[in-house]
């Protein structure tokens, strides 16, 4: 029988403890999907010293080298606070070699599993599944950036969450991502991507386009449901008894929010600082 499990990448920067987020994400996965979870991190020694008890939740702790770069990204914390922090995002293409499982769910540490919706995908016949369609919990924002990698180009796919099986075809896909990363400025120009910094979402989108021979092919199958997300300009309030509560930024009202709640639903919480506060003390506000 094939081994099935999840992996979470966690590479800390000066203000965000991704390991802490990964520990919380792992508890959610085990609660709702009941599969083993491994962590891929450049902070394994620090993690074992800081979270000796909590670290036992992981099936395996997989160490990678620190991929510190000059990449900086603005991290918002609601509408009134933001900071530029280091952004480590260059290891995702290595997951094919790093995962200890034959069939793997990969999630970002800020993706909160709060339902069993992905259970069927874990045991389907598809070799590669990912989200393309997405829904923001804000009804007024322009979210065209998550539809195509530019307004005239190929569809946007989320590298936030995906499931793959180790096959030669899927290995070729990750080899292509590695090549795209190594030649990012060329592919950025070819696909008219305005953002200079390498992004996994863009690389995955381009690689899927190439795997489909630049047509509407069938390499990537859609995961169940849609990718739901909140912006980092929104805030998490709480996660309790399958219910998640948020404060969503109001249009044209800086610093004001609308309360929204979801039940039995997975959500990508882009405001990592708010998620971190919730894990620490029960409220992300």
Burial zone of 162 (CB within 10 Å; 0-12 exposed, 13-18 middle, 19+ buried)? buried
pLDDT at 284: 59
Helix (H), strand (E) at residue 282: none
Residue 218 DSSP class = S
Using one digit for the tens of pLDDT, what is the confidence trace for 129-177? 999 999 999 988 988 889 999 878 899 999 999 999 999 999 999 999 9
Contact 236, 276 (CB under 8 A): no
Is the distance from CB of 111 to CB of 266 less than 8 angstroms? yes
Report strand pairing: 243-249 vs 61-63: unpaired
Chain segment 219-254, per-residue pLDDT in tens = 999 999 889 999 999 999 999 989 999 999 999 888
Winning range, highest mean pLDDT, from 3-17, 108-122, 138-152: 108-122
For 93, the token pair is: 């293409």
What's the CA gap between 20 and 23, in Å, rounded?
Answer: 5
Whether pTM exceeds 0.85: yes
Average predicted confidence (pLDDT) for the chain: 92
Mean pLDDT for 74-95 is 81
Whole-number Å distance between alpha carbons of 71 and 88: 7
Can you list the positions of beta strands (E) in 124-266? 128-131, 134-136, 158-165, 221-222, 227-230, 235-240, 243-249, 257-263
User: Taking a C-beta distance cutoff of 8 angstroms, is the pair 271, 231 a contact?
Assistant: yes
């Amino acid at each position: 029988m094939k081994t099935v499990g999840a992996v979470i990448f966690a590479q800390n920067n000066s203000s965000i403890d991704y390991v802490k987020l990964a520990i919380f994400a792992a508890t959610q996965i085990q609660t709702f999907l009941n599969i083993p979870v491994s962590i891929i991190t450049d902070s394994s020694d620090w993690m074992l010293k800081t979270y000796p008890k909590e670290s036992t939740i992981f099936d395996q702790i997989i160490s990678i080298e620190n991929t510190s770069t000059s990449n900086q990204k603005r991290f918002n914390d609601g509408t009134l606070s933001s900071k530029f922090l280091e952004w480590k995002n260059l290891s995702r293409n290595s997951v094919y070699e790093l995962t200890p499982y034959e069939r793997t769910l990969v999630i970002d540490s800020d993706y909160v599993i709060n339902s069993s919706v992905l259970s069927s995908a874990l045991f389907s016949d598809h070799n590669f599944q990912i989200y393309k369609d997405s829904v923001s919990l804000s009804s007024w924002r322009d979210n065209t950036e998550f539809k195509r990698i530019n307004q005239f180009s190929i569809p946007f796919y989320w590298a936030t969450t995906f499931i793959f099986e180790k096959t030669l075809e899927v290995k070729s896909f990750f080899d292509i991502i590695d090549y795209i990363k190594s030649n990012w400025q060329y592919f950025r120009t070819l696909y008219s991507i305005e953002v200079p910094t390498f992004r996994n979402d863009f690389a995955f989108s381009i690689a899927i386009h190439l795997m489909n021979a630049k047509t509407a092919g069938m390499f990537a199958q859609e995961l169940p449901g849609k990718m739901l997300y909140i912006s980092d300009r929104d805030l998490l309030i709480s996660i309790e008894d399958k219910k998640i509560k948020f404060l969503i930024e109001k249009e044209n009202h800086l610093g004001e929010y609308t309360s929204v709640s979801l039940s039995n639903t997975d959500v990508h919480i882009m405001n990592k600082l708010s998620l971190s506060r919730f894990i620490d003390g029960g409220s992300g506000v």
